[in-house]
Amino acid sequence: MSSNSPDERSLVLIKPDAVRRGLVGEVLSRFERKGLRIDAMAHRTMDAALADEHYAEHVDKAFYPPLKDFMTSGPLVALVLSGDQVIDVVRGLVGATDGRKAAAGTIRGDLSLSNRENLVHASDSTDSAKREIALWFPELG
Ligand code: CMP
């Protein structure tokens, strides 16, 4: 990306396990200390319809029903982050899906022992970021 390009955006969810465990500040501070900007932030509870849309690529997978139960089980914090190469940068900060295998130093590696209750969702490409931001923050479109 050239220095003249507008910064990328990523849709991040601080999941219900992080809210229940009092880790919202810890997770947010890692993004802030990295130098990323918070363009939007909302405390919301995902309903079943939003879960099916957000996780459209996973709805047929065996892990989806318990994932949906978990993601709709309580409030979460939805964020739009921006910054240079934010999608890859955030995925690096978050770590591998399975918290048991994620590298130490990452959010999941330091704070999660689960491949479902893994604290954070982050967009995995510019296309998914666009789609997810439109779902969660249509006013930013
Ligand atoms: P996320 O980044 O939100 O994208 C899909 C989510 O599904 C993932 O984080 C995990 O919470 C969950 N997930 C992915 N793979 C598995 C799995 N094998 N078993 C249980 N949950 C999973």
| pLDDT < 50: residue spans in the chain | 1-3
Q: In this predicted model, what pLDDT tens digit does every residue of 3-31 receive, in sequence order?
A: 455 689 999 999 999 999 999 999 999 99
Find out whether 122 and 134 touch, Cβ atoms under 8 Å. no
Helix (H) or strand (E) holding 8: strand 8-14
Helix (H) or strand (E) holding 52: helix 48-54
98 CA → ligand 1 middle, Å? 8
Which domains, ranges and CATH numbers included, belong to the chain?
8-140 (3.30.70.141)
Q: What is the pTM of this model?
A: 0.95
Alpha helices in the chain (DSSP H): 16-20, 24-34, 48-54, 64-71, 86-94, 107-111, 126-136
Q: What is the mean pLDDT of the chain?
A: 96
Find out whether 102 and 114 touch, Cβ atoms under 8 Å. no
What pLDDT score does 5 carry? Answer: 58
Q: In this predicted model, what pLDDT tens digit does every residue of 29-38 receive, in sequence order?
A: 999 999 999 9
Find out whether 51 and 9 touch, Cβ atoms under 8 Å. no
Please report the sign of the dihedral spanned by the C-alpha atoms of residue 71, residue 58, residue 61, residue 120.
Answer: negative
- Which residue from 115, 119, 128, 132 has its CB within 8 A of the most atoms of ligand 1, so it is best to mutate? 115
Decide: 19 in ligand 1 pocket, CB within 6 A: no
Cβ atoms within 10 Å, residue 96: 15
